[in-house]
A and B are shown apart, each in its own frame.
Chain A
Amino acid sequence: MSLARGTFNQSYAQDMAILRTKTQWVTLLAFLAFLFTCPLFIGETWLTLMIIIGISVISVQGLNILTGYCGQISLGHTGFMLAGGYTSAILCDKLGFSFWAALPCAALVAGLVGLIFGLPSLRVKGFYLIMATVAAYFIIAWVIFQSYGGAFGLTAPRPEILGMVLKSNASYFYVVMIIACLATLAAANIVRSRVGRAFIAIRDNDLAAEVMGINIWAYKLLAFFIGCVFAGVAGSLQAHYCGWASIEIFPFLDSIWYLGMLIVGGMGSISGAILGAVSLRLLDYLVTIAAPMLAAAFPAIAPQAAASLSLIMRGLVIIVFLIFEPRGLAHLWERIKAYFRLWPFSH
């Protein structure tokens, strides 16, 4: 982390701190104050968007730990969300659990499922691991389809606090944002711990990491477990928001978009996961506004434009970032800050 001019670390604690200066603390607190007062002045549409962003942030943070920090590329992340969502719905709908008890169970189940499908990572990597994770999604979906709820899905009721059902978007917004903040904090602490350093070593060169004494087997599985725990939490939140857990609300394509969010935001960066989720979700929303305008302006291609604009824009943004800014928005932001840190004496 680059420090402001004149700020030096004089202890290990200062060196390890996530927030080092008063400016950073004030900025964070101001942001949190703005975030948690949002429902007072934004409409339902924006609340929905922010809830979706919050859920995406949780999911992408998990994927960031697995892929960004440990280098295990996963295209089955939505499958683990599906496992979490269904577990939560089964516990609430069939066994009468409360949401608050079902959420950690969903996270744990998703993590255990991730452990199982993380086993191929011990023998394969790269493209072959990607295919194994793709298979994971379809296997999980098939198992769920054949058994619990089947194609009809399961009801996933909204959470309750002291007998009050959190029916409104505003109340659910607080639930999602609190959990998203906790997830981000957890992810930040994981990656700057011994475990995080092991993940980074495996990502950079797994052979060298093994030679150094890092247990590749254990840490890869741990990465899958942690990443899928985050996915399970996100899946549970998504299912309870929609009120219904079904394969249809956890489509396979979302796995690709979550990876895209990581690419756009910046792999291996906690802030990158947030930036990626925010930017691609905002892009989605932009498309819902632009597509009808485009359809009205060009009626001859209206259906095709409406259907494909979202896919085109997402794909285009991902390609642009892969070519021109492969380290994502987080790195771009660091470069902008570095540029202005010495401005106008940049050279």
Chain B
Amino acid sequence: MIKIKLVVTALLMVTLVVGVLPVFAGCGTTPPAGNLTPLLIGGSFGVTGAYPEDCLAVLAAFQDYAKYVNDNHKLASWVGAPTFPSDIELTVVSMDDGGTNTAWAISNYATLKAQGLLVQRISGSAIANALKATLAADQVGATSQASGSYLLSAAAVNRTIFMNYPIYTDQGASIAEWFVANWVAGGNTTPPNVSYLTNNTFGRTLIPPATSALQNYLISLGYNITGTHILPAAPITADYDAALTACKNENANLTLGAMLCSESEPCMVEAKALGMGPDSGYPGWSYNITFGLCSPSHLNVFLRDKGATCGNGLVVAGSYPSWDDTCAGVTFCKLLQTTYRPSAQITHVMYMHGLVEAMIQVEAMRLAMINTGKTADQLTSADVLTQGFRMITGLDTGGIVPTTITYDSAGDVEGAGTVRLDQAQGGADLVLGLSYPLRHLYP
């Protein structure tokens, strides 16, 4: 009994004592050697919480990219990439915000700002909504892992969160355009039916209200909007059956939604069991439906986890390229990993996202120095925002983002100019088309 008491008391003491450790741990940075001027990049990352794999990949990309720029003094490995001053050393700072913990994100923002970080980053939509007013008031630019239309609700001068792929409504519109073109070309004369099908975690933020621009655009394309259904974040047979059966009862031909985790992708096995599914070549389909997903879904995540069961009808808008792609951006990612983490390479697609975010932050600071004539240690966050982020024009990401990235002071914070569509066919990634323009559909 005494031993048990001692164990419990010791556990409590350890918890209390270790809670004091942060006083000494801190998150300070090591000053650069020699005459190099330090410049911080990074921000708040959700390395614990619901999506650590994604955020760890993003953080790893930041770290590798900073090392590359410090070693090579240029922004990318391909010919024509801008150079970066050799008297500046980039250092990545990171604090954990749990992915969705807004209180931690608010605290991290203040701490990192006090440390001299001139930019910030957003891990998720909850944090974006919580911080956007503060970032605007403090004139701090931030790169973002989130891409919701809530980032466009403020006036142009207050938009300080910069995405690198179009918002989900524009992506959904592209899927709808692609589908209706194929629908008509296939000889169908009746209007196609579309249903929203999405998971709980992110999907709720992606279901537009009835008066939204996306809703109106779908109707203008000739769609009937038949319903909205929520799938669970983890596959539970009964819930899948209910949602999929509802789509079938509504005669839905296309579903639009977003699912971050492949576990919550419309379960093709369940769809097959219900006698419905995309045109995957399986015999005996009694009902054809195409599942369309918008960012932050990524097709290569689904293909990695689901393979051939994705069928031929899973269409994803806003994906990054697969690791087999030969574009310069993917080659650069591989170069970074073989150079800086040869024994612990990361295959998660969000490594590419991290690279793009890091490139945007560094480019913003590079442009700010050029446009203001200030040195790195004289820059302010307002300089980086107004003379950096908003001046980025034609930033080449080597094909990771389908177009070069351009922002402006008139409120364009989406970055990419077109929507990339990918379709799963036979377990492989097929690029459908890259030239779907943004329709700028903001609810």
* Total CB contacts across the A-B interface at under 8 A: 129
Q: Is the CB of A307 within 8 A of B48?
A: yes
CA distance A56 to B234 in the complex (A): 29
Given A48-B104, A286-B18, decide whether A248 and B111 contact each other with a Cβ distance below 8 A.
Answer: no
Given A51-B103, A289-B22, A320-B8, decide whether A309 and B48 contact each other with a Cβ distance below 8 A.
Answer: yes
Residue of B nearest to A154 (CB): B129
Interface residues of B in 407-421 (CB under 8 A from A): none
Residues of B within 8 A of A288 (CB): 48, 96, 98, 104
Tell me which of B204-212, B292-300, B381-389 binds A. Answer: B204-212
A283 within 8 A of B: yes
Tell me which of B49-57, B174-182, B238-246 binds A. Answer: B49-57
Q: Is the CB of B126 within 8 A of A246?
A: yes
Q: Is the CB of A303 within 8 A of B114?
A: no
CA distance A282 to B11 in the complex (A): 13
CA distance A291 to B49 in the complex (A): 10
Interface residues of A in 270-303 (CB under 8 A from B): 279, 282-283, 285-289, 291-292, 295, 299, 302-303
Q: Is the CB of A279 within 8 A of B12?
A: yes
Q: How far is the CB of A41 from chain B (nearest CB, A)?
A: 11
A38 within 8 A of B: no
Q: Is the CB of B48 within 8 A of A242?
A: no
Q: Is the CB of A45 within 8 A of B133?
A: no
Interface residues of B in 313-334 (CB under 8 A from A): none
Partner of B103, one of A152, A241, A292, A332: A241
CA distance A332 to B205 in the complex (A): 45
Q: Is the CB of B129 within 8 A of A279?
A: no
How many A residues are at the interface, by size bracket? 35 or more
Interface residues of A in 247-286 (CB under 8 A from B): 247-249, 251, 279, 282-283, 285-286
Partner of A286, one of B8, B19, B114: B19
Residues of A within 8 A of B204 (CB): 145, 151, 247
Residues of A within 8 A of B375 (CB): none
Partner of B129, one of A246, A324, A336: A246
Q: Is the CB of B126 within 8 A of A307?
A: no
Q: Is the CB of B12 within 8 A of A324?
A: no
Q: Is the CB of A332 within 8 A of B125?
A: no
Chain B interface, >50% SS class: helix
B134 within 8 A of A: yes
CA distance A336 to B205 in the complex (A): 50
Given A150-B209, A291-B96, A307-B50, decide whether A155 and B133 contact each other with a Cβ distance below 8 A.
Answer: yes
CA distance A332 to B51 in the complex (A): 37
Residues of B within 8 A of A309 (CB): 48
Q: How far is the CB of B41 from chain A (nearest CB, A)?
A: 18
CA distance A259 to B102 in the complex (A): 22
B340 within 8 A of A: no
A329 within 8 A of B: yes
B285 within 8 A of A: no
CA distance A283 to B7 in the complex (A): 17
Residues of B within 8 A of A189 (CB): none
A91 within 8 A of B: no
Residue of A nearest to B150 (CB): A152
CA distance A47 to B150 in the complex (A): 29
Residues of B within 8 A of A306 (CB): 47-48, 52, 56
A169 within 8 A of B: yes
- Chain B 154-183: CB-based contact to A (< 8 A → 1; otherwise 0): 000000000000000000000000000000
- Chain B 28-50: CB-based contact to A (< 8 A → 1; otherwise 0): 00000000000000000001111
Residues of chain B whose beta carbon lies under 8 Å from any beta carbon of chain A: 4, 7-9, 11-12, 15-16, 18-19, 21-23, 25, 47-53, 56, 96, 98, 100, 102-104, 106-108, 110-111, 114, 125-126, 129-131, 133-134, 150, 204-207, 209, 344, 443
Residues of chain A whose beta carbon lies under 8 Å from any beta carbon of chain B: 43-49, 51-52, 145, 150-153, 155, 169, 238, 241-244, 246-249, 251, 279, 282-283, 285-289, 291-292, 295, 299, 302-303, 306-307, 309-310, 317, 320-321, 324-325, 329, 332, 336
Can you list 10 contacts pairing A with B, beta carbon distance less than 8 Å?
A: A48-B106, A151-B207, A153-B129, A243-B102, A243-B134, A248-B100, A286-B18, A286-B21, A291-B47, A292-B48
